[in-house]
Amino acid sequence: MKVLINGEWRDSLSGKMFAVHNPATGDVVGEAPLCGEDDLRSAVEAAGEAFADWSAKNPRDRGKILFFAAEEVRRRNRELGSLLTAEQGKPIREAVDEINGFANILEYYYALSAGERGEYQNLRGYGHTLVERRPLGICGAIIPWNMPAIIMGWKIGPALVAGNTMVLKPARTAPLTCGKLAEILAGAGLPPGVLNVVTGPGETVGREIARNPAIRKVSFTGEGGTGRQVALDAAPALKQLTLELGGSDPMIVCDDADIRMAVEGVIRGRFYNCGQTCTAVKRLYVYESIADEFIRHLRARVEEIVVGNGMERGVSMGPLNNRPGLDRLVRQVDAARERDEGEIITGGRAPEGKNYGRGFFFLPTLITRVPQDSVLFSEEVFGPVLPIATVTDLDEALERANDSRYGLGASVWTRSTDVIARVTRELEAGIVWVNQHLRTPPEVPFGGTKESGIGRENGRRALDEYTEEKTVLIRLQ
């Protein structure tokens, strides 16, 4: 790929490229420009020049371009999904779902664009008051590799419909799909400079997004440590920030839960995308009275998961996306093993066989009897490993679920309305699911509390995050 700056596809100023590898095979899938701060600065200049015309357009006309792009994305979902599988690793079915999810997001913001209005009041003694929502200007988006298409959609949808221009940096291990999606947006009529895509290292290109004073807002998704660095870099220019950071979502399974339904909830909630989802089920608390039966069913289902290259028929879980991610997961499992923190009842290692050659594979893993102070509970486990503990009642379940510095998502599985009423009130999380987990429709806000982040994406509220209010008071003479 090349980078998109001011409507042109260019090489980096240095002319250097980096290779993108298939995490299942180690093969090179493509190349992307190795940009630096100078490339980013020219993208910011282009975004600055495009702002006046773009922000002056009727919001519906901005939305229409996103809508046309969404149609084309859907038409090419298989081709785009294959590219996503090749660079990211997820099974093709999940990849096509993600591409369709990107189209859903664009369509949703098109629908909202028609309703973009300010407020009017006739205030006695002050006259006519208008509250307009104005776009912020140039916005920066920094995205991770785990759900590149969806997270790109979460950022560009509201930012562009609201009238901002944008500079976006994909992750180094999954930039190619983002490049193709930007190409489709340009083909659908997005004017030059409105969306610029710059690839390269976080330490240079990403940091320049955070630091560059012409960028008025940064929306970052990634690890907490990186998010803190972004906040520090953005502080001197007092930028607006949205930080979508890590999570360690608890799932509570009560004794009246539909066991088969809850087991399927774990299969999708933990092992979808090889466990590399911010709102994956990362801690399982199951009532002691049903634990044996629940774990027996769960283990049987986990052992049916077929690990392999996501392009192959029948594969239900791909590799991890990158070597550091696999190394970190192995370190966490080894630490738990060395400290005798729980019992590995299935998995716990990489699969063996020539099919797994140079891929970053790890078997789906269940670890029972995990103590609350284990690294598996205190750190974010970003891979297909599920620590499980039993609880005696709801008080204990809630206490242990809330005993985390994270607060992204959480779920409870029960038939009791009393339990639902209590847990939805008391769980410390930005999203609480009941008898489901992981589902994040664009219509409702998404984001975390505590150290899982600041701000929200999705929903109408996301438009507020990319605009600021201007109050006008008019006294007629």
Output the smallest distance, CB 456 to ligand NAD, in A: 10
From the list 34-42, 217-225, 310-318, 356-364, the region that binds ligand NAD by CB under 6 A is 217-225
Active-site hit among 90, 155, 169, 239: 155
- Asked if 451 is an active-site residue, the reply is no
**The binder of ligand NAD chosen from 179, 247, 318, 407 (CB under 6 A):** 247
Quote the CA–CA distance of 287 and 453 in Å, as a whole number. 30
Stretch that binds ligand NAD, among 216-224, 256-264, 311-319, 345-353 (CB under 6 A): 216-224
Stretch that binds ligand NAD, among 130-138, 167-175, 360-368, 410-418 (CB under 6 A): 167-175
- Residue 73 or 178: the one with the smaller Cβ distance to ligand NAD is 178
Residue 232 CA: distances (Å) to CA of 237, 268, 456: 10, 36, 20
Site membership for ligand NAD, residue 288 (CB under 6 A): no
CB of 467 closer than 8 Å to CB of 135? yes
Nearest to 216 by CA among 170, 152, 161, 159: 159
**Tokens 């930012």 found at:** 159
Q: Is 32 in the site for ligand NAD (CB under 6 A)?
A: no
**Annotated catalytic residue within 169, 178, 278, 380:** 278
Does 211 bind ligand NAD (CB under 6 A)? Our answer is no
Tell me the window of 37-45, 137-145, 311-319, 410-418 that interacts with ligand NAD (CB under 6 A).
137-145
Question: Residues with Cβ < 8 Å from 352, sequence gap 6 or more?
Answer: none
Alpha-carbon distance of 363 to 384, in angstroms, equals 7
Cβ 409 to ligand NAD, closest distance in Å? Answer: 9
Residue 319 binding ligand NAD, by CB under 6 A: no
With binding defined as CB under 6 A, does residue 365 bind ligand NAD?
Answer: no
Amino acid identity of residue 156, one-letter, is: I
- Pair of tokens at residue 47: 């975004």
When asked if residue 171 is in the footprint of ligand NAD (CB under 6 A), the reply is yes
Q: Is the dihedral of CA 245, 153, 149, 105 positive or negative?
A: positive
Instruction: Extract long-range pairs of 212-215: CB within 8 Å, 24+ residues apart.
Output: 212/40, 212/41, 212/44, 212/140, 212/237, 213/237, 214/44, 214/48, 214/137, 214/138, 215/44, 215/137, 215/138, 215/139, 215/140, 215/167, 215/239
In terms of CB distance, is 78 or 323 closer to ligand NAD?
A: 323
**Gap between the Cα atoms of 244 and 278, Å rounded:** 9
Q: Judged by CB under 6 A, does residue 222 bind ligand NAD?
A: yes
In the annotation, is 465 catalytic?
A: no
User: 395-434 mask for ligand NAD (x: CB under 6 A)?
Assistant: -------------x--------------------------
Nearer to ligand NAD, 181 or 419 (CB): 181
Among 116, 341, 380, 457, which one carries the catalytic annotation?
457
- Reply yes or no on whether 399 is catalytic: no
Q: Does 230 bind ligand NAD (CB under 6 A)?
A: yes
Among 87, 107, 244, 465, the one annotated catalytic: 244
Complex with ligand NAD: residue 147 or 253, whichever CB lies closer: 147
3-state SS track over 130-158: EEEEEECCEEEEECCCCCHHHHHHHHHHH
Report which of 190, 211, 95, 116 is spatially closest to residue 158, judged by C-alpha positions.
116
Based on the residue annotation, tell me whether 155 is a catalytic residue of this protein: yes
CB of 159 to ligand NAD, least distance (A): 15
250: contact with ligand NAD by CB under 6 A: no
Instruction: Give, in degrees to the nearest 5, the angle at Cα 171 between 170 and 175.
Output: 60
The verdict on 178 binding ligand NAD (CB under 6 A) reads no
380 interacts with ligand NAD by CB under 6 A: yes
* Contact pick of 164, 165, 221, 368 for ligand NAD (by CB under 6 A): 221
Judged by CB under 6 A, which of 31, 183, 223, 426 binds ligand NAD? 223
**How far lies 74's CA from each of 70, 158, 280, 405, 411, in Å?**
6, 19, 26, 38, 31
Q: Is 206 in the site for ligand NAD (CB under 6 A)?
A: yes
Pick the binder of ligand NAD from 145, 272, 360, 361 (CB under 6 A): 145
Q: Which chain residues interact with ligand NAD by CB under 6 A?
A: 142-147, 169, 171-172, 202-203, 206-207, 210, 221-223, 226, 229-230, 244-247, 278, 380, 382, 408, 448, 453
Residues labelled catalytic: 155, 244, 278, 457
